[in-house]
Amino acid sequence: MTSSRESTAYLTVSCKDRPGIVAAVSGFLFSKDANIIHSDQHSSDPVGGRFFLRMKFHLSGIESNLDKFKQEFSEKVADKFDMDWSLNPAWIRKKTAILVSKFDHALMDLLWRAKRDELFTEITMVISNHPDLREAVESFGVTFHHVPVEKDKKEESEKKIIELLKGNADLVILARYMQILTPKLIDAYPGKIINIHHSFLPAFVGADPYRRAGERGVKLIGATAHYVTEELDQGPIIEQDVIRVSHRHDIEELKILGRDIERQVLSRAVKWHLSERVLIDGNKTVVFI
Amino acid sequence: MTSSRESTAYLTVSCKDRPGIVAAVSGFLFSKDANIIHSDQHSSDPVGGRFFLRMKFHLSGIESNLDKFKQEFSEKVADKFDMDWSLNPAWIRKKTAILVSKFDHALMDLLWRAKRDELFTEITMVISNHPDLREAVESFGVTFHHVPVEKDKKEESEKKIIELLKGNADLVILARYMQILTPKLIDAYPGKIINIHHSFLPAFVGADPYRRAGERGVKLIGATAHYVTEELDQGPIIEQDVIRVSHRHDIEELKILGRDIERQVLSRAVKWHLSERVLIDGNKTVVFI
Amino acid sequence: MTSSRESTAYLTVSCKDRPGIVAAVSGFLFSKDANIIHSDQHSSDPVGGRFFLRMKFHLSGIESNLDKFKQEFSEKVADKFDMDWSLNPAWIRKKTAILVSKFDHALMDLLWRAKRDELFTEITMVISNHPDLREAVESFGVTFHHVPVEKDKKEESEKKIIELLKGNADLVILARYMQILTPKLIDAYPGKIINIHHSFLPAFVGADPYRRAGERGVKLIGATAHYVTEELDQGPIIEQDVIRVSHRHDIEELKILGRDIERQVLSRAVKWHLSERVLIDGNKTVVFI
Amino acid sequence: MTSSRESTAYLTVSCKDRPGIVAAVSGFLFSKDANIIHSDQHSSDPVGGRFFLRMKFHLSGIESNLDKFKQEFSEKVADKFDMDWSLNPAWIRKKTAILVSKFDHALMDLLWRAKRDELFTEITMVISNHPDLREAVESFGVTFHHVPVEKDKKEESEKKIIELLKGNADLVILARYMQILTPKLIDAYPGKIINIHHSFLPAFVGADPYRRAGERGVKLIGATAHYVTEELDQGPIIEQDVIRVSHRHDIEELKILGRDIERQVLSRAVKWHLSERVLIDGNKTVVFI
């Protein structure tokens, strides 16, 4: 991710597994004089399973030629194997919007990494249902929108959010946004909304996981980054991590320790998503790292 | 734990927290010329909480004097603070019985560590509802009892188990014993039965956790050692750990990886229990490590 | 660490181990009506070793009585056991100064945690040999001093630094400060300068550890927080951690991954130091966590 | 690794990177009606670097056709790209010999995993310079050879070892063998001798690493599995791991904790080697996991 992005693209593919896929894809790329820099593949089952591929390749001059390249790939390779596929230029920054409530730790970590260009993205806006984080966000030169969510008027708020996002978000991140999204918003960004849940899912699904973890006396607490689907906390998991805790930590301390895990897990998931490393396989993910 | 065990004892205490406990205990030990080697304490809440203490001390000649020492401690210290307490000689091996079904990995690890004297215990017997592991167990010089559990005759089997255990078990370990114990057996060994559950509890409570972990697409799998109570998989957690997995691992591979975590987690819990490091606090544990 | 700090203090003690120390200390505290909230102790060897103690206690009204309390403790307890000891009020923020060069990640993490009051300290200043980070520092409302270090004029620069620190630093943090300190500065802050080294010491002592780690093909990279002594990278280690890497990571990526470990390790070490959890034992540390 | 091994083979390749390699290899396999089950590749540098590939493929009837397949691959693909390559049938168990001295933990773990068929290998013999472990080894049904190493007669002993190994070892494992091998033995098994070193290399190269780790006061101890080369402890690292320790652990306890890491790290390295996941890249390894 640190090498030059010029003339470089990510090809991701998923399709029914059968012989000849790699030969077809690599043969096509070779015929175009493309050089494969990285390649990862996975088959959920060689017999009757699903095949997943991510290739990073370099092809001089692809910048001026992208549409033609895609059309040819579609005709010569993708159609034959009935592929779900995408070709993403590595030289273009994707647009990211962040939704947040009052906790700033996950948000700050993302803004900071974006500023250092660890993520290679353009953060187009931060939207919050509270005004508190305006100053912190604007100090990074990022636009802040306060969209309050009033009881019984959720739909109105979401309508406003959808308008703000339109054309400005290839990815939406819920960085501790304490509102449940409606299907309308979720359906508009399939596989493009990442949430951070502050527990090691599927343990402690729902609200207040640190309190429940403390009460259960677990010896590890965790965090989970997942794609948002209509079922609460049930979407495909991208990344999880844990930290050791003990009887010495009260619930406030669990929350402080948890913050560090939350922001690391979310940042890794976002970084992987933005470099096209995450492919969705039903309710699971294939993550090529 | 490797230093000499001669003239050495573990004192564990739990009681309502209030000022003066440490002064009273350490004053008593000093008056007896005992030398405190290690001491750990914890208060669940300094105001109105519960106090927990573990002390390892050395006192020349305590071997011939233990009962008198205990009586005096009871009268001069424990009664005043209404303590739950125990004094365990470090020089005496506790008796441990292991229950197992067909999986041998957790069992073997325990037998092996016992043989190397990592655990400082006497394994008095292994009981199994299957005959398969007899040879493996007996090769360690340990007695093996086959107690089949027939449908609708569970009570009979448990009666036999209880008889076998009588006088031979300060600790009972369920090293992947695939039978649910009846309250009768559980109540006979309060805080003295340790089970290994092959998931990161409370995720995947119940049967077949690896399959369910695989289907949910989690990125870490784990294991949990806990004391057995009447509620299935709900007893106080002693130790947990996890290992990273990915889309590349099918369910068989999760099981293989899981074995390593299971046996490590169980062995740690057993070792800590046997060196009096685990104190029960309601449905949680205080583990002094 | 999140509970009230009012009327609360940390007592730390180290002395030659012998019977009666805990009885004397806890007896004294009890006689003053103090309530011990936490207590940890360690003996490097019960016979002829060194004894270490940290107690956190609550004593109503100690705020107005601190000097007298200390004097009495000294006379009645500390002198008798020839103790190295300190008593630190939990309600007073210690003053911290940070030295940094151009890398901002460790610095930012500290400023951020200080702002959220995770560290309970007052950051009095940031000193850098480069002007680059002025704006970032000042955005936190913290004073920034640019003290260039010119070749052959190091002593002059250090003189200036020592003047700036005077009275303003109970703790000095080297958050990737790329200059070697002279003995004069080190001796002025014994056990009070914490450095973060970007390797898992003692591997890759000295310069450019990520490059050397990459060339050696290690499978884990790490970071080490330690007290600064006159011997480069040889001071007592406070905390270390590692992260898994592979052949896929080039040296630039090792540096990016390493940043996350560096800032976590340093922040933990600083937090522990500031809550009096770190006691120095020759060239090692006892960390009560 | 748990799926059927019938008609399945591993192809590993390393060569100078240039466009067309994947197309050539996958095209060849497709032309033979082989189905690629897994594929991993790595380039140390797309421009002027080295290319590494591991493919697991299924080809009906390859059992009776292996030599012809290899010859054709050599002529049509490998020669053109000047490849270092090997084709290993997945259905044939490789032969493994283990050298050990007195510590049994790493050895036992390997024998145990071999018995459960986690490793898919045939342990042909255990050779030791001490007689102590004979019974333990033979209880697994494995041949034990006692080859004492007398001062000034090392060469004689090694001669005997080389004879024993001849034809019986595709892999040689040093499972805490406390003798330094001579170049003669090392050269006979290039990239085929795996050693476990009981430290996190390059920290504590050489003897007695736990004592030195304890004296340095590190907060993590580790173990390293590496290929043996003529330079002591300097060969390509295959796997490393660490465990957290503290001031509470004396050197004996470090050794006990270290055992667990040593056997895990060694077992992982051996498992990966035997499933052709480890490719050597100068003094480093590419490990496809």
Q: Where are the beta strands (DSSP E) in chain C?
A: 8-16, 35-43, 50-58, 84-89, 94-100, 121-128, 144-146, 171-174, 193-197, 220-227, 237-244, 278-281, 284-287
Nearest C-alpha in A relative to C254: A2
The minimal CB distance from A139 to the residues C139, C248, C289 is found for C139
Mean pLDDT across the stretch B256-266?
A: 96
Interface test with B, best of D112, D245, D287, D289 (most B CBs within 10 A): D112
> Does the distance separating the beta carbons of D139 and B250 come in below 8 Å?
no
**Amino acid A1: pLDDT:** 39
The minimal CB distance from D246 to the residues C236, C241, C287 is found for C287
Q: SS3 sequence, B200-214?
A: CCCCCCCCCHHHHHH
CA C289 to chain centre: 14
> Does the distance separating the beta carbons of D202 and C204 come in below 8 Å?
yes
**Amino acid C52: pLDDT:** 97
> Does the distance separating the beta carbons of B203 and A247 come in below 8 Å?
no
Which residue is listed with tokens 């050692």? B225
**Set of chain B residues whose Cβ sits within 8 Å of the Cβ of C39:** 22, 39, 41
Nearest C-alpha in B relative to C49: B37
Nearest C-alpha in D relative to A34: D19
Chains that touch D (3 or more CB pairs under 8 A): A, B, C
Mean pLDDT across the stretch B12-21?
A: 95
- Choosing from A233, A250, A260, A281, which is the catalytic residue? A233
SS3 A222: strand
User: What is the rounded CA–CA span in Å between residue D115 and residue D122?
Assistant: 9
Task: Name residue B126's amino acid.
Answer: V
* C-alpha Rg value of chain D to the nearest Å: 21
**Amino acid A210: pLDDT:** 96
**Set of chain D residues whose Cβ sits within 8 Å of the Cβ of C220:** 200, 222, 240-242
Q: How confident is the model at residue B151 (pLDDT cuts 50, 70, 90)?
A: confident
Q: Quick: pLDDT tens for C175-194.
A: 999 999 999 999 999 999 99
Min Cα–Cα distance to chain D from C137, Å:
31
Closest to D262 measured CA to CA, from D180, D181, D201, D185: D201
**Set of chain A residues whose Cβ sits within 8 Å of the Cβ of D19:** 30, 33-36
DSSP at A64: G
Nearest C-alpha in C relative to D247: C286
SS3 A171: strand
Q: Is there a contact between A191 and B259 (Cβ–Cβ < 8 Å)?
A: no
* C-alpha Rg value of chain B to the nearest Å: 20
User: What is the rounded CA–CA span in Å between residue A125 and residue B142?
Assistant: 67
Min Cα–Cα distance to chain C from D284, Å:
5
Closest to B61 measured CA to CA, from B13, B112, B8, B110: B8
Closest to A62 measured CA to CA, from A90, A39, A37, A85: A90
Q: How confident is the model at residue B285 (pLDDT cuts 50, 70, 90)?
A: very high
Angle between helices B21-31 and C21-31 (to 10 degrees): 140
> Does the distance separating the beta carbons of B201 and A202 come in below 8 Å?
no
Q: Is there a contact between C245 and C218 (Cβ–Cβ < 8 Å)?
A: yes
- Choosing from B82, B109, B233, B281, which is the catalytic residue? B233
**Amino acid A2: pLDDT:** 42
User: What is the rounded CA–CA span in Å between residue D123 and residue D135?
Assistant: 16
Residue B3 predicted with pLDDT over 60: no
Q: Is there a contact between D129 and D282 (Cβ–Cβ < 8 Å)?
A: no
Chains that touch A (3 or more CB pairs under 8 A): B, C, D
Q: Quick: pLDDT tens for B199-225.
A: 999 999 988 999 999 999 999 999 999
**Amino acid D3: pLDDT:** 56
Nearest C-alpha in D relative to C216: D284
Nearest C-alpha in C relative to D212: C202
> Does the distance separating the beta carbons of A19 and D35 come in below 8 Å?
yes
Would you list which residues of chain B are within 8 Å, Cβ to Cβ, of chain C?
Answer: 18-20, 22-23, 26-27, 29-30, 33-43, 46, 58
**Helix H or strand E encompassing A287:** strand A284-287
Q: Quick: pLDDT tens for A109-157.
A: 999 999 999 999 999 999 999 999 999 999 999 999 999 999 889 899 9
Residue C1 predicted with pLDDT over 70: no
Average pLDDT, chain B: 95
Q: Quick: pLDDT tens for B94-121.
A: 999 999 999 999 999 999 999 999 999 9
CA-angle at B195, arms to B193 and B198, nearest 5°: 175
* C-alpha Rg value of chain A to the nearest Å: 21
**Amino acid B46: pLDDT:** 74
**Amino acid D171: pLDDT:** 98
Min Cα–Cα distance to chain B from A199, Å:
11
The minimal CB distance from C200 to the residues D200, D215, D241 is found for D200
Residue D59 predicted with pLDDT over 60: yes
* Ramachandran angles phi, psi of B191, nearest 5°: 65, 20
User: What is the rounded CA–CA span in Å between residue B209 and residue B198?
Assistant: 7
Chains A, B: CB contacts under 8 A, how many?
Answer: 79
Would you list which residues of chain A are within 8 Å, Cβ to Cβ, of chain C?
Answer: 1-3, 38, 105, 108, 112, 116, 118, 139, 248, 250, 252-253, 256, 260, 264, 289
**Set of chain A residues whose Cβ sits within 8 Å of the Cβ of C3:** 250
Other C-beta atoms lying within 10 Å of the C-beta of residue B35: 21
> Does the distance separating the beta carbons of D20 and A23 come in below 8 Å?
no
**Amino acid C3: pLDDT:** 56
Residue B162 predicted with pLDDT over 90: yes
Whether C187 is catalytic: no
Residue C47 predicted with pLDDT over 90: no
Other C-beta atoms lying within 10 Å of the C-beta of residue C63: 14
> Does the distance separating the beta carbons of B260 and D260 come in below 8 Å?
no
Min Cα–Cα distance to chain D from C222, Å:
10
Min Cα–Cα distance to chain D from B98, Å:
20
- Choosing from C17, C84, C233, C241, which is the catalytic residue? C233
User: Active-site residue numbers of D?
Assistant: 233
Q: Is there a contact between A52 and A279 (Cβ–Cβ < 8 Å)?
A: yes
Q: Which two tokens stand for residue C113?
A: 């945690």
The minimal CB distance from A253 to the residues C2, C105, C264 is found for C2
User: What is the rounded CA–CA span in Å between residue C11 and residue D268?
Assistant: 46
Mean pLDDT across the stretch B163-178?
A: 97
**Amino acid B8: pLDDT:** 96
Q: Is there a contact between D53 and D40 (Cβ–Cβ < 8 Å)?
A: yes
**Amino acid D168: pLDDT:** 98
> Does the distance separating the beta carbons of B19 and C34 come in below 8 Å?
yes
User: What is the rounded CA–CA span in Å between residue B17 and residue A148?
Assistant: 46
Residue C46 predicted with pLDDT over 90: no
Interface test with B, best of A196, A215, A219 (most B CBs within 10 A): A219
**Set of chain B residues whose Cβ sits within 8 Å of the Cβ of C18:** 35
Closest to B99 measured CA to CA, from B139, B128, B141: B128
Provide the percentage of residues in chain D whose pLDDT is more than 70: 99
Mean pLDDT across the stretch D231-251?
A: 95
**Amino acid D152: pLDDT:** 87
Domains of chain D: 8-89 (3.30.70.260), 94-287 (3.40.50.170)
Q: Quick: pLDDT tens for C91-143.
A: 999 999 999 999 999 999 999 999 999 999 999 999 999 999 999 999 999 99
> Does the distance separating the beta carbons of B41 and C38 come in below 8 Å?
yes
> Does the distance separating the beta carbons of D241 and C218 come in below 8 Å?
no
Residue C2 predicted with pLDDT over 60: no
Segments in chain A below pLDDT 50: 1-2
Closest to A132 measured CA to CA, from A167, A178, A165: A178
The minimal CB distance from A252 to the residues C2, C260, C289 is found for C2
DSSP at C63: G
**Amino acid D174: pLDDT:** 98
Q: How confident is the model at residue B2 (pLDDT cuts 50, 70, 90)?
A: very low
Other C-beta atoms lying within 10 Å of the C-beta of residue D288: 22
Q: Is there a contact between A114 and A268 (Cβ–Cβ < 8 Å)?
A: no
Q: Who's near D22: CB < 8 A, 6+ residues apart?
A: A22, A26, A30, A36, A39, D41, D53
The minimal CB distance from A108 to the residues C2, C112, C139 is found for C112
**Set of chain A residues whose Cβ sits within 8 Å of the Cβ of C1:** 253
User: What is the rounded CA–CA span in Å between residue C196 and residue C205?
Assistant: 12
**Amino acid D264: pLDDT:** 97
Handedness of CA B58, B59, B65, B67 (dihedral sign): negative
Closest to D268 measured CA to CA, from D283, D285, D281, D256: D285
Min Cα–Cα distance to chain C from A2, Å:
7
